[in-house]
Amino acid sequence: MTKEFDFDVIVLGAGGAGCAAAITAARNGTSVALVSKEGIGMGNTRMSGGEMSSSGVVDGDSAEVLKQDMMRGGEYLSNGHLVDIIARNASSAIRFVQGLGHYFRRDEEGRFSGKAASRLGGHSFPRSFGGLAVSIAHALRNAVANTKSISVFEDTLVTTLFREGDEIRGALGVDLKTSECVVLKAKATVLATGGCGWLYYPQTTNNRTATGEGYAIAFEAGVQLVDMEMVQFFPFAMNHPPHLVGTLLDEPILAGPKGKLINGLGEVIADHDINKMTRAQVTALMAKEISAGRATEWGGLKLDLSGNLDVPEMLEFKRVKDEVNFFEKVRIAYGEKAFNWKEPWDVSPSSHYMMGGVKIDPHGHSSMKNLYAVGEAAGGAMGANRLGSTSIADIFVTGIVAGKEMSTWIKEREKGKISNSLISREIEKIEKLFGQKGPQRPIKLKREFQKLMRENVGIVRDGERLSSALSQIDRMEEEVENALSVSSIRRYNTEFLDAVELKNMLTCARMIATCALERKESRGAHLRLDYPDKDDAHWLKNIIIQKKKSKMETSFFEKDISEI
């Protein structure tokens, strides 16, 4: 049985960006549906470090300096207008989150000062405020629960955007607990589905649900996406034991002024100031060693922190982290000595954040009428590399801005119709999966696909591997169409979920590989062995990708040099 609902606004994805958009829109008098394939306040937001950028807390810092840092950190590929909005609104977004009940770390006098902030790699000043991210998630859920005009759809997987003509008029969801379809009609639709780290499982810091579906369903609807080749790999993550592979350790800041990186041959490849480098720089350094065959037995490098044992700020850093048991897994997996920095840690880069995404204007509006994108689902602000703590700022700023904008926008709009034939065609696609027979279990193909991504579309890339990846993606797409077996269970069928996710993950991967093949230089997170240098003369531009007449097409967006 299909249910149909009508709302002013539907928000797809309920991490930080989705909740902020929903709460803001609802507070401004609109009726909102908040939809997520898991619970409210989940996603990467809930498991993040909870560090959020502010600006101007210490002397000399300002929104302008934050903006410059982000532009430089993004290696000048970022959309300056978006960065501007984020930088100018970061501090007020912190107040928004505080207003929902979250508590950001303060100094020992209880003040919100520079002393309580950390200076993360690539930032000119200490300006990142931490706190426990679960507490952000709880504050969000609580606010959602207590906002009357938000209707909640949990455990509801969004599979399609309904496009009629040149506008989006709603979305189709599947209630995973019953496998019933839900048709959500709306004047405005917001994509807040987060990132796609799970494409690289297990080499990812991300949540199980970060499967990049928002990118894929936007693409299918003909929406423009930008910078899809820019996948950030976080430099310091666990690389063993197997069940902890990929899970996050910390920013370059962890290396402190005196941390060293040592390769598998015992050679020191960096011995100071790693903490001042950006993630992209550290990851590139590591990737070079690893891909040259000089990795440790676990496929990573050794991070030796012992030099920092006489650096007071680093001891303070450790104390703060230990208070919340941040490195507990190091103790468990690598032992007590490693936990106390007396033995090096084995670390590998791990897929962490998608800089690319749905191309938006400064109000969060996409290239398609009535469709907005916020948070990690949107692209463009982070350019070729994101600085630590800017994502949490970004998700709240973009969520709030879009939430406000929409509530004005929808007042002038009539709700468009969605044709019954479109609805039933999409529902049929869903229904057909249940009980489908085939030789391949979805999870098997998913794992094969993830291996392909790690090997061919991962940290270091080259033309040959990317092309080969694209042809394997073709083959896998065919298998998804024709060879998957899915049980007919209606009560939370994960084979069904895997099948839908995999289809979208493949679309997302195709965009990443296509753009990565296109960009013939190395910049930020994008490392081409066959084009190792940065090429400002030709590549100071963004790659836009879009579906046109059922084909994937790329085009370019030249940077306005005056912005830089």
Partner 1 sequence: MTHGTWGKMKGTRQMDEYTIRISRFNPEVDDGPTLKEYTVSHVDQGSVIAALIYVYEEIDSTLLFSYGCRYKLCGKCAIKINGQPGLACETTLEDRMTLEPLDNLPVIRDLAVDRSGLLEPLRKYGLVYSADHEPEVALQPPEFSQLMRCNECLSCLSNCPAYKEEIDYGGPFFGVKLAELYYDVRDGKKQLKHLESFLDQCIQCRQCDVNCPWDVNFSEISSKIKGEVFKHKGVSVRDWLMSRPHLVGHLVSSVSSFFNSLVKKKSVRKIIDVLLRIDERAPFPEYHPGKVLPREGIERTTKRKVAYFVGCFDRFNDPDTAKNSLFVLEANGVEATAFDPGCCGAPFIGLGDLESARNRAIAVSRELRKLIHQGYDIVASCTTCGAVMKYEYPFLFDQLKEEEVQSRIYNLGDYLWQMHKAGELNTDYKKIKRRVGYQSPCHLKAQKIGAPFVDLLQLIPGLELAATFDKCCGMAGTMGFKKERYELSQRIGNPLSDEIRGKKLDLILSDCASCQMKIKNDAKVDSVHPITMVRQAMR
Ligand X SMILES: Cc1cc2nc3c(=O)[nH]c(=O)nc-3n(C[C@H](O)[C@H](O)[C@H](O)COP(=O)(O)OP(=O)(O)OC[C@H]3O[C@@H](n4cnc5c(N)ncnc54)[C@H](O)[C@@H]3O)c2cc1C
Choosing among partner 1, ligand X, none, which partner's interface includes residue 177 (Cβ < 5 to 8 Å by kind)? Answer: partner 1
Measured from the CB atom, the residue of 39 and 463 that comes closer to partner 1 is 39
Total number of residues that touch partner 1 (CB under 8 A): 66
Stretch that binds ligand X, among 201-209, 294-302, 316-324, 413-421 (CB under 6 A): 201-209
Going by C-beta distance under 8 Å and a sequence separation of 6 or more, which residues neighbour residue 77?
227, 230, 383, 384, 523, 524, 540, 542, 559
* Binding flags for partner 1, 443-472, as an x/- string (CB under 8 A): xx--x-------------------------
Enumerate residues 490-519 that contact partner 1 by CB under 8 A: 490-495, 498
**Eight-class DSSP state of 309:** G
Choosing among ligand X, partner 1, none, which partner's interface includes residue 103 (Cβ < 5 to 8 Å by kind)? Answer: partner 1
Crossing angle of helices 63-73/80-99, nearest 10°?
120
Per rule CB under 6 A, is residue 38 in the interface with ligand X?
A: yes
177-216 burial, b at 16+ Cβ within 10 Å, e below that, comes to: eebbbbbbbbbbbbbbbbbbbbbbbbbbbbbebbbbbbbb
Per rule CB under 8 A, is residue 241 in the interface with partner 1?
A: yes
Both tokens of 269, joined, read: 């490849």
Cα 29 from Cα 165, distance rounded (Å): 28
Intra-chain end-to-end CA distance of the chain, in Å: 54
Per rule CB under 6 A, is residue 35 in the interface with ligand X?
A: yes
Enumerate residues 246-265 that contact partner 1 by CB under 8 A: 246-247
Dihedral angle at the C-alpha atoms of 214, 216, 218, 221, nearest 10 degrees?
A: -150
- Looking at the DSSP bridge assignments, the partners of residue 250 are 236
Stretch that binds partner 1, among 4-12, 291-299, 399-407, 441-449 (CB under 8 A): 441-449
* Nearest distance from C-beta of residue 492 to partner 1, angstroms: 5
Per rule CB under 6 A, is residue 25 in the interface with ligand X?
A: no
Choosing among partner 1, ligand X, none, which partner's interface includes residue 392 (Cβ < 5 to 8 Å by kind)? Answer: ligand X
* Nearest distance from C-beta of residue 118 to partner 1, angstroms: 18
Cα 91 from Cα 306, distance rounded (Å): 36
* Nearest distance from C-beta of residue 44 to ligand X, angstroms: 4
Measured from the CB atom, the residue of 103 and 556 that comes closer to partner 1 is 103
Measured from the CB atom, the residue of 70 and 139 that comes closer to partner 1 is 139
Choosing among ligand X, partner 1, none, which partner's interface includes residue 16 (Cβ < 5 to 8 Å by kind)? Answer: ligand X
Per rule CB under 8 A, is residue 141 in the interface with partner 1?
A: yes
Residue among 3, 64, 103, 451 that touches partner 1 (CB under 8 A): 103
Residue among 369, 413, 415, 441 that touches partner 1 (CB under 8 A): 441
Query: Of 518, 163, 245, nearest to 356 (Cα)?
Result: 518
Please answer whether residues 350 and 248 qualify as being in contact, where contact means their C-beta atoms are separated by less than 8 angstroms: yes
- Looking at the DSSP bridge assignments, the partners of residue 191 are 12, 373
Per rule CB under 6 A, is residue 89 in the interface with ligand X?
A: no
Q: Angle 493-496-497 (CA atoms, 0-180°, nearest 5)?
A: 85
Choosing among partner 1, ligand X, none, which partner's interface includes residue 376 (Cβ < 5 to 8 Å by kind)? Answer: ligand X
Q: Angle 165-167-172 (CA atoms, 0-180°, nearest 5)?
A: 100
Q: Angle 392-396-400 (CA atoms, 0-180°, nearest 5)?
A: 170
Enumerate residues 358-397 that contact ligand X by CB under 6 A: 375-377, 388-392, 395
Choosing among ligand X, partner 1, none, which partner's interface includes residue 498 (Cβ < 5 to 8 Å by kind)? Answer: partner 1
* Binding flags for ligand X, 158-197, as an x/- string (CB under 6 A): x---------------------------------xxxx--
Sign of the CA dihedral 106, 206, 434, 420?
positive
* Nearest distance from C-beta of residue 488 to partner 1, angstroms: 10
86-96 burial, b at 16+ Cβ within 10 Å, e below that, comes to: bbbbbbebbeb
Choosing among partner 1, ligand X, none, which partner's interface includes residue 106 (Cβ < 5 to 8 Å by kind)? Answer: partner 1
**Eight-class DSSP state of 368:** S
Stretch that binds partner 1, among 138-146, 263-271, 298-306, 516-524 (CB under 8 A): 138-146
Q: Which residue is nearest to ligand X (CB)?
A: 15
DSSP secondary structure letters along 489-528 = --SS-HHHHHHHHHHHHHHHHHHHHHHHHH--S-BTTBEE
Going by C-beta distance under 8 Å and a sequence separation of 6 or more, which residues neighbour residue 365?
371, 372, 402, 405
Stretch that binds partner 1, among 37-45, 387-395, 473-481, 542-550 (CB under 8 A): 37-45
Per rule CB under 8 A, is residue 67 in the interface with partner 1?
A: no
Cα 181 from Cα 467, distance rounded (Å): 37
Please answer whether residues 77 and 359 qualify as being in contact, where contact means their C-beta atoms are separated by less than 8 angstroms: no
Please answer whether residues 236 and 252 qualify as being in contact, where contact means their C-beta atoms are separated by less than 8 angstroms: yes
Residues lying near partner 1 in the complex (CB under 8 A): 38-40, 42, 46-47, 95, 98-101, 103, 106, 108-112, 132-135, 137-139, 141-146, 152, 154-155, 177, 202, 207-209, 241-244, 246-247, 323-325, 328-329, 332-333, 441-444, 447, 487, 489-495, 498
Residues lying near ligand X in the complex (CB under 6 A): 12-18, 35-38, 42-45, 47-51, 157-158, 192-195, 205-206, 209-210, 213-214, 248, 353, 375-377, 388-392, 395
